[in-house]
Structure 1
């Protein structure tokens, strides 16, 4: 497996070097739009600005296109931070009102993917522990209002759902302990997708401790 991945990466690297157009196009991942944490947390992603027809660079021509040098955001490439999930909804969606006055719809999605490498205790049955830890919960936040209304009307516990969103980290102060916490969530914004795949059997409801783990209060 490792050898095949190494061979694939070498082929991809050689193809990028042999094709200058592709290597130049990869620069579009960089951005010079430095946004504040408040805007990136709660505001929807802005739609891309369409180039003007009068712009000589944007118009198609036989000449080689000039790529603009853009500074990196905080010295780093913006990269790709997209998440794709297919799982079952564990709780009815709920809405929260942000300080900006906008609302966000929250719910949890359960998937597999847990690997238990912990040594079992003396009086612990490994099979029982594995069955209790078979599901991991993901916090999902829906920001567009129309999509949030659709989620509120159709999502219920046990619904099989397909999600595409941004993998984001929220930093906040715990209202109970006062400690600063980080929560990873799948943020469904304008570029996200929600597809309802069907209604499965009854799914075990998450406990209050599990819900606190995905940021429910």
Structure 2
């Protein structure tokens, strides 16, 4: 299953667009965000199917006028049943589409997807979009196969759970620093005891004295 852009974009909208539709309650904002996110992402998938090369280029071009054109098309569609006023809907759609384009570009540059990888990523979102909005959304963005769809139940880990597993994996690894330090101590440990090096001059002096005394007796 492809990476869940639906949930990812929803979280990014809340993080990056705290003032968007702020005149509404938290519950209404969440509803509108989910609705517009599905509406715009679904439209990107439809446009990709029609001309993937063009959309791939537009993702990297980040052309505000092109993004605004998509938002206006969705807003003025006769099938659009959003309860938001048209002006607010178009503005919110433009901002969310701009965020989606920017995030897709960053994901592509970071992951080196290329056009084929981006195709798999975008087309893989159909499963994640299933049941996430009313049928009018799929009629408006022409993702007709999702009309009447139900949410797909998955067992994907949350961010917190993923981080816990990652931390556990790290904690189970050997303490490489301690092992390296121990190995270095073994390598650097002197082959002779330190006291033997200190005693060497004393022993040499005693030997010299013995030889000197012997010579005195001879002469």
Higher helix share: 2
Higher strand share: 1
Say whether the fold is shared (TM-score over 0.5).
Answer: no
Q: Provide TM-score, normalisation by structure 1.
A: 0.24
- Between structure 1 and structure 2, the one with the greater Rg is 2
Q: Provide TM-score, normalisation by structure 2.
A: 0.23
Higher RCO structure (Cα 8 Å, ≥6 apart) = 2
